[in-house]
């Protein structure tokens, strides 16, 4: 853990690789509050490690894997797993299924059957019939929760992957569970953020929005813009790095719940997919701002699924409460978007500036 004196605030920072990503906690407190802040950071890191053990789908011994193996029967769960599944199902309901946590069979059929770090150099040798196999869609609607007994019933054939919401969910839960007494804190779980306050008196947390490099990969060292805000959540999703080869074809982890197939996205400037004839029409990365990190994470998946410019229109209509402009869903409300397109251009929703001013208390600087 590092400590930095910043204008009479002590900035405490700790980072650790958990949940297959980098988890970072940054707290700014008066020197006299440092001991309690350090204890809160230590406790939150221990909790993140427990969440990782329970929610990973890459270990047959995790609680999530045991739940998936019990499909067709009631399964008694821990508080962490029950809450994560409950919130994932609430997100599915609010998005009318555009976010779907029950697509694990489809992901595995496309070759995403192990930790992503083990996929990058693997071309995949599975039979093509496996990839084309038909798996039921929309099974999330049949999942049952028993709140009183804290049990979950998955329908036969359903298996969950919480990767589309778990990082934001964990950031939100950590803020609420461990840092209620802290006015200035930011929790970063693999780029999905929840924060309030700022590092110094009169300053807000500053978040850089990455660019694309010359190969079409996300470039976090080069920023197109810097967003400052003091409350709420932010998340970024895309497939500029998280893709792999399966049966000689590139695949990625953002699936269309209506088809079970990957959404057309910009993945790389080299060897473009046949449909990627216009880099300006495909999204490379989507960044969402929302009241919570989990809502922001779900909003990025919805944006990638809808594509450009439909994604912007949906959140703009929801912001204006204009049902005639475009149909929108509960998950669209209170969301602003910034999209980096495959040609490097940036498109933002018309409500981004208003969102930063009214909901997040910040602003944006273009670089």
d(CA 202, CA 204): 7
Sign of CA dihedral 354, 358, 360, 362: positive
DSSP state of 118: G
| Interatomic CA distance for residues 231 and 206, integer angstroms | 12
Mark whether 159 and 170 lie in a shared domain: no
Q: Is 131 helix (H, G, I), strand (E, B) or coil?
A: helix
Give domain status of residue 18, yes or no.
yes
| Structure token digits, residue 81 | 């797993």
Final residue in a domain of this structure, among 163, 179, 199:
163
* Separation CA 75–CA 230 (nearest Å): 40
Per-residue pLDDT of the chain (367 residues; tens, 9 = 90+): 655 555 578 999 999 999 989 999 999 999 999 999 999 999 999 999 999 999 998 889 999 999 999 999 999 999 999 999 999 999 999 999 999 999 988 888 876 555 545 455 444 444 444 444 568 899 999 999 999 999 999 999 999 999 999 999 999 999 999 999 999 999 999 999 999 999 998 899 999 987 654 444 455 566 778 999 999 999 998 876 665 455 556 655 678 898 888 877 767 644 445 454 566 678 888 999 999 999 999 999 999 999 999 999 999 999 998 766 666 799 999 999 999 988 889 999 999 999 999 988 888 887 6
User: What's the CATH code of the domain at 112?
Assistant: 1.10.3980.10
Q: What is the 3-state secondary structure (H, E, C) of 144-185?
A: EEECCCCEEECCCCCCCCHHHCHHHHHHHHHHHHHCCCCCCE
User: Is 308 a member of any domain?
Assistant: yes
Shared-domain flag, residues 45 and 69: no
**In contact, 179 and 171? CB cutoff 8 Å:** no
| Nearest to 174, CA basis, from 264, 269, 279, 42 | 42
Q: Which two tokens stand for residue 54?
A: 């329970």
| Nearest Cα to Cα of residue 41 among 223, 181, 229 | 181
Same domain, 70 and 93: yes
Continuous segment of H or E residues that includes residue 193 = strand 192-196
Assigned domain for 243 exists = yes
- What is the structure's pLDDT at 360? 83
| Number of structural domains the chain divides into | 2
Query: Are residue 317 and residue 174 in the same domain, yes or no?
Result: yes
Question: Do residues 242 and 174 share a domain?
Answer: yes
Residue pair 286/238 in contact by the 8 Å Cβ criterion:
yes
Among 133, 163, 193, where does a domain finish? 163
Tokens 């947390």, residue located: 205
How do residues 115-143 score in pLDDT, each as one tens digit? 545 455 444 444 444 444 568 899 999 99
Kindly state whether residue 230 falls inside one of the protein's structural domains: yes
For residue 232, what are the β-bridge partners? Answer: 195
Question: What secondary structure letter does DSSP report for 4?
Answer: E
Range of the domain at 111: 63-163
């Amino acid at each position: 853990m590092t400590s930095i004196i910043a204008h009479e605030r002590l900035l405490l920072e700790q980072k650790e690789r958990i949940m297959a990503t980098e988890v970072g906690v940054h707290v700014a407190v008066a020197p006299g509050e440092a001991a309690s802040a350090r204890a809160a950071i230590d406790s939150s890191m221990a909790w993140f490690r427990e969440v990782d053990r329970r929610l990973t789908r890459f270990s047959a011994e995790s609680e999530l894997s045991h739940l998936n193996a019990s499909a067709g029967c009631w399964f008694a769960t821990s508080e962490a797993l029950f809450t994560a599944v409950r919130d994932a199902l609430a997100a599915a309901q609010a998005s009318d299924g555009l976010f779907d946590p029950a697509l694990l069979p489809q992901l595995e059929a496309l070759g995403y059957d192990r930790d992503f770090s083990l996929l990058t150099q693997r071309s995949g040798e599975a039979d093509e019939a496996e990839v084309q196999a038909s798996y039921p869609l929309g099974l999330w609607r049949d999942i049952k929760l028993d709140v009183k007994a804290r049990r979950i019933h998955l329908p036969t054939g359903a298996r969950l992957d919480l990767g589309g919401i778990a990082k934001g969910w964990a950031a939100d839960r950590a803020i609420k569970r461990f840092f209620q007494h802290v006015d200035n804190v930011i929790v970063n779980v693999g780029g999905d953020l929840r924060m309030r306050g700022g590092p110094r008196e009169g300053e807000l947390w500053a978040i850089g929005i990455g660019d694309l490099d010359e190969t079409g990969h996300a470039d976090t060292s080069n920023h197109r813009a810097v967003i400052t805000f003091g409350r709420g959540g932010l998340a970024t999703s895309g497939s500029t790095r998280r893709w792999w080869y399966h049966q000689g074809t590139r695949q990625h982890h953002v699936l269309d719940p209506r088809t079970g197939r990957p959404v057309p996205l910009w993945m790389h400037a080299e060897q473009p997919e046949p449909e990627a004839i216009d880099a300006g029409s495909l999204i490379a990365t989507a960044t969402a701002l929302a009241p919570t990190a989990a809502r922001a994470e779900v909003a990025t998946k919805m944006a990638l699924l809808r594509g450009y410019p439909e994604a912007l229109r949906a959140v703009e209509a929801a912001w204006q409460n204009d049902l005639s402009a475009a149909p929108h869903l509960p998950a669209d409300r209170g969301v602003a978007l910034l999209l980096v397109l495959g040609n490097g251009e940036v498109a933002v929703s018309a409500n981004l500036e208003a969102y930063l001013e009214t909901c997040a208390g910040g602003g944006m600087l273009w670089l």
